[in-house]
């Protein structure tokens, strides 16, 4: 049973965007999470996953057909809107402009990753400040830890998948070492948490 403190509930009510970062071992969970969202989920969602540019991934298309909510790859200078889940395209960093649209960026990988979770998390926090909820899931490197700290320090809400329920624990574990004060949730609670965003924002 997930018990949220009033502080967390007020952060949920204050939030204007949801970020999800994941890598090795997290794809299935992301798939299930996105598929569970209602069509009118109250926040725009941005998903950063590490995947090779060599294989054409159709995760977005598949999810779009299976989900109630719209799912797509984010495009350069596209405006961010709620009711949509945006995936970062492989081989680009995804940045957010203060004007409220995306920019793609082909600069160097960060921690061998492009897209980098850190880069997007920080960029979004620079625009949304404390109105961010960020979730970091399973993965085999340390991407995301910096970004989570940054969001946390700006007053956003930080959620880390319990390393014990992650398929690959390195990424959530690194985040927990670096960034104290995040909310640690196991898989069922992550689903409950997403539901509580929908109810607390009505």
Partner 1 sequence: MQEFTNTETISFEQLDELVLWINKIHGFNFTGYSRASLKRRVTRIMELRGLSLFDLKSLLVNDFNFLEEFIIEITVNVTEMFRDPTFYRALREKVLPYLASFQRIKVWNAGCSTGEELYSFAILLSLEKLYNRAFLYGTDINTYVLDIAKKGIYDLKQMKVYSENYMATGATGTLADFYTAEYDAASINHSLKKNTLFSVHNLVSDGVFNEFQLISCRNVLIYFNVELQKQVLNLFYESLCPFGFLCLGAKESMRDLDLLKKFKIVDKTENIYQKIA
Catalytic residue positions, numbered:
23, 50, 143
First-to-last CA distance in the chain? Answer: 21
Nearer to partner 1, 91 or 167 (CB): 91
Query: Contact between 116 and partner 1 (CB under 8 A)?
Result: yes
Query: Contact between 77 and partner 1 (CB under 8 A)?
Result: yes
Q: 115: cis peptide before it, omega within 30°? A: yes
Count of H helices and E strands in the chain? 7, 9
- The β-bridge partners of 21 are 48, 136
Please name which of 142, 160, 138 lies closest in space to residue 151, comparing C-alpha atoms: 160
Neighbours of 163 (CB within 10 A): 17
Of 11, 50, 122, 131, the one binding partner 1 by CB under 8 A: 122
Query: Contact between 141 and partner 1 (CB under 8 A)?
Result: no
Nearer to partner 1, 28 or 58 (CB): 58
Nearer to partner 1, 93 or 169 (CB): 93
Query: Contact between 98 and partner 1 (CB under 8 A)?
Result: yes
Scanning 1-9, 146-154, 160-168, 193-201 for contacts with partner 1 by CB under 8 A, the matching segment is 146-154
Nearer to partner 1, 21 or 42 (CB): 21
Sign of CA dihedral 33, 57, 170, 144: negative
Query: Contact between 108 and partner 1 (CB under 8 A)?
Result: yes
User: Which runs of E-coded beta strand occur in 9-165?
Assistant: 17-22, 45-49, 70-73, 84-87, 93-96, 102-105, 132-136, 157-161
Query: Contact between 153 and partner 1 (CB under 8 A)?
Result: yes
Binding positions for partner 1, 21-60, rule CB under 8 A: none
Phi, psi torsion values for 59, nearest 5 degrees: -55, -40
Nearer to partner 1, 34 or 95 (CB): 95
Cβ–Cβ under 8 Å, residues 103 and 126: no
Using CB under 8 A, list all residues that contact partner 1: 75-77, 89, 92, 95-99, 103-108, 110-111, 116, 118-119, 122-123, 126-127, 146-147, 149-150, 152-154
């Amino acid at each position: 049973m997930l018990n949220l403190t009033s502080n967390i509930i007020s952060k949920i009510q204050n939030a204007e965007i949801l970020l999800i970062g994941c890598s090795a071992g997290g794809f299935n969970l992301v798939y299930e999470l996105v598929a569970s969202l209602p069509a009118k989920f109250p926040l725009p969602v941005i998903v950063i996953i590490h995947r090779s540019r060599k294989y054409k991934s159709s995760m977005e298309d598949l999810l779009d057909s299976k989900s109630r909510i719209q799912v797509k790859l984010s495009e350069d200078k596209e405006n961010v809107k709620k009711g949509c889940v945006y995936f970062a395209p492989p081989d680009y960093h995804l940045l957010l402009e203060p004007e409220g649209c995306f920019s793609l960026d082909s600069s160097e990988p960060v921690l061998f990753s492009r897209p980098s979770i850190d880069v997007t998390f920080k960029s979004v926090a620079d625009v949304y400040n404390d109105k961010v909820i960020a979730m970091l899931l399973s993965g085999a490197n340390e991407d995301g830890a910096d970004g989570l700290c940054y969001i946390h320090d700006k007053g956003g809400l930080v959620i880390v998948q319990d390393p014990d329920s992650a398929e690959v624990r390195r990424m959530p574990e690194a985040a927990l070492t670096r960034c104290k004060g995040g909310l640690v949730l196991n898989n069922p609670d992550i689903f409950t948490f997403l539901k509580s965003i929908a109810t607390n924002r009505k």
